[in-house]
Amino acid sequence: MGVLKFKHIFFRSFVKSSGVSQIVFTFLLIPCCLTLNFRAPPIIPNVPFLWAWNAPSEFCLGKFNEPLDMSLFTLMGSPRINITGQGVTIFYVDRLGYYPYIDLTTGVTVHGGIPQKVSLQDHLDKSKQDILFYMPVDNLGMAVIDWEEWRPTWARNWKPKDVYKNRSIELVQQQNVQLSLPQATDKAKQEFEKAGKDFMLETIKLGRSLRPNHLWGYYLFPDCYNHHYRKPGYNGSCFDVEIKRNDDLSWLWNESTALYPSIYLNTQQSVVVATLYVRNRVREAIRVSKIPDAKNPLPVFVYARLVFTDQVLKFLSREELVSTLGETVALGASGIVIWGSLSITRSMKSCLLLDTYMETILNPYIINVTLAAKMCSQVLCQEQGVCIRKDWNSSDYLHLNPDNFDIRLEKGGKFTVHGKPTVEDLEEFSEKFYCSCYTNLSCKEKADVKDTDAVDVCIADGVCIDASLKPPVETEGSPPIFYNTSSSTVSTTMFIVIILFLIISSVVSL
């Protein structure tokens, strides 16, 4: 069908066009569109990779009693319960409706414990109040539902979450005493998955209807479940069964307007293991983003932490930032959300440590990887797509060449970037990365980066690369150059284009 459609477009343009330009343009569209490897367009113009901050740092002061430098983050929001109207709003179990769950520590049942026992309408009525409270205005922002107590896929509720299976089976047995245990288990599975699906689906539908300008999705969805890194031969891959289970959640992806996977690390993961772990999780999220519509994928915003889950005061090293943030950028995600708990901002000492970490490690790396990604996009994609690894499982990153660039923190606390790329830098981008077009854009990768005249990209006010790559050409005394646009030239070009198109159509049809 895709080939026939393009043939129709091509020949219609051929008949109606008064010149060769329309035909050539349509012809150039074909290789890009047939790949179906699109990426979600930026949610904010000229911000191809978005950095968001979701940590309670509002009362944190750094050196000289000044607030932390958040100039690199486009959207911000604190997870504290009493703050509303933020760029990033996260809904925990106690902030959106009547979420049913069982406290695994105390055994207390909340709102019926399992989704089969809660009134969906009561939940939606309460959810409406909560959404309007936390989002008084429908500005552009992120709406992240963080419900982790149970999973809508029955098989994924392994220990200790198997309590939800057991409660569901008990409920069926109470209502159907004649059923055997296998029969009760089958029925419990059906009822649990239906109730869980309805609960999650109707909640996100409500959110979208009330606040359509927000990007709605569930935290930790999709998940890869590739936590088996202690086993020998670990390569980070997602199990086939988990990929199939993610496919079966198409009902959720169809209603989501963004995906929010997680790449948190713990200290038991070496840098090599962490890299494989993150790489496969982000790759799976990008795959899932295309399930609703391969030509119009969902934006993927990856949740990351600056500290380890098992040592909440130990910051990630620069190498570990490469394994997390760098991997995410190189694979073509839409952005990263930095999440943090009160542990990193609960005291003056922890605030000073965070301030120092941001000044010396985090912010310089964000500047580095973001400017490199924007530069690659500008050169290879004419800013109509993103640069993505040609070999997804390689260790190729979008980084500025340290021999040619220097990121400095000036006395006033502002960062500046010194240096400019060489043609060799751009050729390395072209060698290791390719251009993936944004939805509905017919971008075409630059054939020869040596033709690049200049680079002009910024991440924040004054944090830019603005460089001319070619020396001025001496034109004094040189005659003007004119191009022959006679009918014979046009006819020849048309003929060549038609022949090439027919060749491509034949190959694709095979």
- At 292-349, the pLDDT tens digits run 999 999 999 999 999 999 999 999 999 999 999 999 999 999 999 999 998 888 888 8
- At 194-245, the pLDDT tens digits run 999 999 999 999 999 999 999 999 999 999 999 999 999 999 999 999 999 9
Catalytic residue, candidates 66, 148, 170, 319: 148
Domain boundaries, the chain: 1-35, 44-87+139-148+219-382
pTM here?
0.86
Length of the chain: 510
Helix or strand holding residue 119 (H, E): none
At the second CATH level, the architecture of 44-87+139-148+219-382 is Alpha-Beta Barrel (3.20)
At 497, the pLDDT band (50, 70, 90 cuts) reads: very low
Inform me whether the pLDDT recorded for 85 exceeds 70. Answer: yes
**Residues whose CB is less than 8 angstroms from the CB of residue 284 and which lie 6 or more positions away in sequence, other chains included:** 222, 224, 238, 243, 246, 261
Helix, strand, or coil here: 453? coil
Mean pLDDT of 402-408: 97
Q: Given this model, what pLDDT does residue 12 score?
A: 31
Q: When comparing pLDDT for 470 and 302, which is higher? A: 302
- At 264-306, the pLDDT tens digits run 999 999 999 999 999 999 999 999 999 999 999 999 999 999 9
Q: Given this model, what pLDDT does residue 18 score?
A: 37
**Residue 468 — φ and ψ, nearest 5°?**
-90, 130
**Residue 71 — φ and ψ, nearest 5°?**
-65, -20
Q: Given this model, what pLDDT does residue 413 score?
A: 87
At 65, the pLDDT band (50, 70, 90 cuts) reads: confident
Q: When comparing pLDDT for 147 and 343, which is higher? A: 147
Q: Is 148 a catalytic residue?
A: yes
Average pLDDT, the chain: 87
What is the sign, positive or negative, of the torsion defined by CA atoms of 22, 28, 30, 34?
negative
Inform me whether the pLDDT recorded for 396 exceeds 80. Answer: yes
